[in-house]
Structures are given as structure tokens and as C-alpha cells.
A and B are shown apart, each in its own frame.
Chain A
Amino acid sequence: MTAATHSGASLDPTRKAFYHGLLRQMVQLRRFEERAGEAYAQGRIGGFCHLYIGQEAVATGAISALRDDDYLFASYREHAHALVRGTPARAVMAELFGKATGCSGGKGGSMHLFDAPRHFLGGHAIVGSHIPIAAGAGFAIKSRGTDQVAVCFFGEAAVNIGAFHETLNMAALWELPAIFICENNRYGMGTALERAAAVYDIAHRACSYDMASETADGMDVLAMYEVTARAVERARERKLPTLIEARTYRYMGHSMADPIHGHYRTKEELEEQKARDPIEHLTGLLREGELLTDAERDALRQSVEEEIADAVQFADESPDPEPGALYTDVYAD
């Protein structure tokens, strides 16, 4: 693993606002997901709902290393990616509630969040189907000669599908400005990676395509930031793709409809992993470096609490799509 090992003492005091931003972002994601889980349990969110709790450092660290005009593609566990990119919590929560004010007009749902103006191009719910799509954005960037980067987030189970290999091959072959971030939360639904992959050091997969790769501590937001920044430089400056394996862990079940633990993992393992909690980790570093006071922490939590409560209320009070919306957006003019 090439992750940086940070200590409180190694933090740069001049970047306090940046650290606070990362912390607040992760807290926002956590609180958002907790409230989404609550709303799901109350029947206010339907369908599948895949929560990100435990993995906050990955989206927060990685997307913070990007420019706003870089393209983002994510899987169906993507509430966090939209939120970090800047889609208002109101619009994301409203989409989960299926409301007209949702970021996809209520027609996408939890798994299909879109915010095209912010270059967030979806929530894709066929495992790995967005890996080539992200490469297509990279192809377009190269074709147009701009210096954006296309970034794709997917789970570790997606590395076994054909499109992952086909795409990595073409991305390397054609030298596309693309970053493939594998969020290895260790379980594809209930199947541990070790039970599904012959080679489970995922970063090694890139060797087949002579592509740069790094493994990052996905529970460490600063590590994620730094690894991604290096990949961005590689893509933006040298038009080369990178595969990043972010080792992380999800605290919740595969979806709200799945058990948190049981046959496939133990409660003990879960508790052990929670000891690596990304929010606690960054909080600890900041406290250690004396860059976060109790008052600051409380104020941060309070502002998140208010933001998410507002988002839930907004989603709750928003109208359903007009009946006529059923037949719009099937075809473009």
C-alpha cells in the first residue's frame, strides 16, 4: 500500500480550512445516509437504497482532488459522490424520495442520481456498466483536446466483469485521461472478494494492461486525496489512466434490504473495522495537531444536522412529479 501515513504532527496548520472541509464533508455524508436509512425504514424512500456509511473517506478524498469540470461516474452506491461534487443535499434527498425536485426529477431514484451541470454523470446500476462509459468521456476529452479527467467509482466486485478488462485495455491502449477508482469494501453483496477473485490484490489487475495503479487506505481521507491527486496529474498532464484500489469497508448491509452481518461476515469483524472509522480518524488527527476545538467540532456537527434536517423536510414537502412526467424525457428533441 502506498498510502501516506499521517500523524497529527504532520498536518499543515495553514490548511486547517481544507481539513475542516474534509471533515465536514464526511460528517455530512454520514448524517445524510443515517437520515436516508431512517426515511427508508419509514417507507418514505422506496426500492433499493445502498448506503455509504464507512466509506466516506473515499469519495470525499478523491473528489476533493478533482476540478469541478472533471467528469464523475459512479455506481448505484453514489449518494456520497453527488454530495461531494456539490449537488445540494436537498436535491439528492428529494431524488431518494422520488420527488419532482430531485436531482433526476424523481425519475432516477437512489441508484440513478444525475447532475449534468456539475458534470456528475450518474448513478449506474448494472455492475461495472459505467466503467466503459467513463472511458468514453475520457475518449471525448482526448478527442476535443481539453484537459479534463474522467473519473469512475465502482465496487471491487466489478473487477471481475468483462467490461472492466475490456475498458482498462482500451484506456491504456489509447492513453485516455481516466481514473478508475475501485472502492474495495470487501464484499460484493455477500460474497467476499477472496471468494470471487483469483487475484484479490486489485491494483495488480492493472499490470495486465501496463497501466499505473496504486492502493490507498480508503479509510484515510488524506491518503485518498493524495493518491487521487497523483492520478489526476498523470491524467491531466500526461493523458494516462490510473487504477486506484481504495481499501475501505461498509458498515451497513449491501442495501437497506440486506442484513448488516450474518452468514457472510461477523459482528466482530464489523466492530473491528469500525475502529478504523474515517471520521474518527481525521478527527483524531486534527485533535492531535490541535487544529480542531470542541466548539468547532460541535458547530460543524450542528451545521450538518441542520442541513440534513432541512434536506429531509424539503424532500418530504416537495411535490411528486406531474403525471405527465411519465412520458417526458423518453426521447430528446
Chain B
Amino acid sequence: MATITYRDALNQALREEMQRDDTVFLMGEEVGVYQGAYKVSRGLLEEFGPSRVVDTPIAELSFAGIGVGAAMVGLRPVIEFMTWNFALLAIDQVVNSAAKMLYMSGGQTPMPVVFRGPGGAALQLGAQHSQALEAWFAHVPGLKVVAPATPYDAKGLLKSAIRDNNPVVFLEGEMLYNTKGEVPEEEYAIPLGSAEVKRAGTDVTLVCHSKTVAVALRAADRLADEHGIAAEVVDLRTIRPLDVDTLVTSVRKTNRCVVIEEGWYFCGVGAQVVDELQREAFDHLDAPILRVTQADVPMPYNKLLERAAKPSPEQVLEAVRRVAYLER
């Protein structure tokens, strides 16, 4: 099995799906000649030509809308936002058009469009470029929301997203593009809506996705070393539809749960996870579920402040100590 970057795994998924299905095309800012702002689309213009790798002006709202229209008449657009922060300009098309066209039309208009791009904070990019917006989109029925953490998941999930007949919001981790992992040579796809236990454990469930999977895994290492606590790390992979079964199975075993996400606290993804668990695993909980999120502030520029604002393994440890009653 080859070890490749998350970036290249996404590139492979795009390339393979464009080879497999000529209705798939990629559109966005700098995706062609420039080879992608983050080089995810490297080499695709050369292979597929400008009609399928389409550089756009800076006009997020309208090229998102063009994706919606193209999907309505039979193409499978992959719309790249340079970052999800800029996608807020296009949220009308994602939410008002893509998410509900099928429903409003009484089932007449499938919407096989993927909106993808990097999300979450990178390093010192300031308040407008450092947002994890999963919860915004996951709120909306009609959308599927995916946020992979590893190269393997990124490739397998992007392929499923492109093949899906529904609008998929695909949030990549800006800080994950250079991370490496094993990706098989042979064809595979990962179904949307399936979480994965990234590390098995018995004492506490750490729910996470995207970049926070690494945070949870580091915390799990330290919990094992410093406290003898076996944490189970559940990577949601898909935020919507949420794989409640996997969550409940884990928490029924561990009786405790900490939910970690890069987004803000209020109405975050974790709030939904907590809701599902309090309902489905109520009698199995030995402590309130705690959440570790970004600080409830716009992201500061200063390096120390930024670090303090992001969810960290230390915060996860602190939360686990509380749900495991190690501190009284």
C-alpha cells in the first residue's frame, strides 16, 4: 500500500472519478492553470482540459449556482471553494437552492453536486480565514456533510460524495493536506454516513472528526500513559447523516463521552452528538457528556492566543478527568 498525502488522496479521487464518469467536472478559483490554491487539482487541467477543469472569476455565489444548475440537468459538478470561509458568499446556493430543490420539486430534480474545499483554522490566518463551519451546513436537511481526517478516508469519501445523488458539503482540513497515510492502489469507496473507531478503548469515548481526530488520538495516548485510561476514539467522518449506532455502541461500552470539534461551542456538531447520546444511551451514562471546542470567540491572530483558542489534547485530558471522576 502506498503512503501518500491527504492532498494527493483527494487528487486521486478527483482524477479517478473524472476518468470513470465524463459528467464529472471541477470548477472553482485557481483549480486549473494555477493547479489549485492548495494543489489538490494538480495535473487535472492537463488531463481533462478546460471544459472539465474550469477556472472561475472570484464569484463564489454564482459559480456555486452554476454548479447547482449543471447538476439539475445531468452533470456531476465538483465545486471547489478556495476555503469554506469564502463559501459563506455562496451559502444561498448551497442552502436555498442545492439543499431543497429535490424537496420543493416533489422529487423531480436530483442534485448530484459536491461543494468542497479546506475548512478550519490553519496557522495565524486571522478571524476571517480560520473557521470550521460544519455545523452551519449540517443543520440543513437535504445536505450531506463530510469531513475526513485521513488520506484513506479523504479518497474513499470523496469518491462516494461525487457518486452521491445529493448535494454533499465536503470539508477538508487545511492543516491535513500534508499529512500522510496509507491508501490502497485498488479501487475503493467509503459509504457516507459511517463513523469509524480509530482506536478501541473501554473507559471513555472521544468523538471527533477531521483535524480533531489527531487531537483525540494524542489525548488517548496520554490518557493511557498517564492515567491508565483506555479511550475509544470515534471519528464521525460524516457529520450528516450522523452514524448514531456507532456512537451509541461505543458509549454503552465506555459510559463516558467527550466530544471534540474545531467549530464553536454554541449549536455545534457536538451539541447534536450529545443530544443523540442522551436519548439513546441515557441509562449508560455515568457522567454528563463534555465538549471540547474552539473558544467561543473569533479566531485571534496572535500565535499564543490562537493556540489557546483551538481544541487541544490538554483540554481533552481535562475533560476526560472530569467525566471519569478523576478529579473531585
Contacts and interface: CB of A to CB of B under 8 A. Distances in A.
Q: Are A and B in contact, CB atoms below 8 Å, in the complex? A: yes
Nearest to A116: B108
B101 interface: yes
A143 interface: yes
A329 B103 contact: yes
Given A132-B63, A173-B57, A328 B107 contact: yes
Contacts of A330: 102-103, 141-142
Interface in A204-237: none
B104 A170 contact: no
Contact of A167 (B25, B65, B144): B65
Contacts of A333: 165
Contact of B103 (A102, A103, A107, A170): A107
A112 B105 CA distance: 7
Interface stretch (A40-48, A133-141, A238-246, A290-298): A133-141
A139 B57 contact: no
Interface stretch (B66-74, B170-178, B271-279, B304-312): B66-74
Contact of A136 (B66, B104, B106, B144): B66
Contacts of B144: 331
A18 to B, nearest CB: 29
A191 B171 CA distance: 40
A133 B65 contact: yes
A304 B265 CA distance: 59
A114 B141 contact: no
Contacts of A71: 73
Contacts of B70: 136-137, 139-140, 143
Nearest to B27: A139
Contacts of B141: 330
B57 A169 contact: yes
B107 A163 contact: no
A236 B102 CA distance: 29
Most buried by B among A71, A328, A332: A332
A105 B107 CA distance: 8
Interface string A138-150: 1111111000001
A324 interface: no
Interface residues of B, number: 44
A126 interface: yes
Most buried by A among B71, B72, B109, B112: B72
B72 A108 contact: no
B250 interface: no
B65 A136 contact: yes
A122 B101 contact: yes
Nearest to A141: B73
A162 interface: yes
A184 interface: no
Contact of A107 (B59, B73, B104): B104
A249 B4 CA distance: 62
Contacts, number: 154
A87 to B, nearest CB: 12
Contacts of A124: 97
Contacts of B56: 170
Contacts of B107: 105, 328-329, 332
B101 to A, nearest CB: 7
A116 B105 CA distance: 8
B73 A137 contact: yes
Contacts of B66: 132-133, 135-136, 139, 167, 170
Contacts of A162: 59, 61-62
A332 B98 CA distance: 12
Contacts of A142: 51
Contacts of A102: 106
Interface in B77-113: 77, 92-93, 96-97, 101-112
A170 B63 contact: yes
Given A116-B109, A139-B66, A330-B142, A132 B75 contact: no
Given A106-B106, A136-B66, A129 B97 contact: yes
Nearest to B56: A170
Given A135-B62, A140-B74, A143-B75, A112 B69 contact: no
Interface in A301-333: 328-333
Contacts of B111: 332
B149 interface: no
Contacts of A159: none
A40 to B, nearest CB: 20
A78 to B, nearest CB: 12
A15 to B, nearest CB: 32
Contacts of A167: 59, 62, 65-66
A121 interface: yes
B64 interface: yes
Most buried by B among A73, A124, A143: A143
B254 interface: no
B230 to A, nearest CB: 37
Given A116-B109, A330-B142, A133 B97 contact: yes
27 contacts: A71-B73, A104-B104, A126-B96, A129-B93, A132-B61, A132-B65, A132-B69, A133-B66, A133-B72, A133-B93, A135-B66, A136-B66, A136-B69, A136-B72, A136-B73, A136-B77, A139-B69, A140-B75, A142-B51, A143-B51, A162-B62, A170-B66, A330-B102, A330-B142, A331-B142, A331-B166, A332-B110
Given A114-B109, A124-B97, A332-B112, 5 more contacts: A102-B106, A114-B104, A115-B108, A129-B65, A130-B65
**Which 9 A-B residue pairs are closest in the complex by CB-CB distance?**
A136-B69, A132-B65, A105-B106, A166-B62, A114-B105, A166-B59, A133-B69, A136-B66, A116-B108
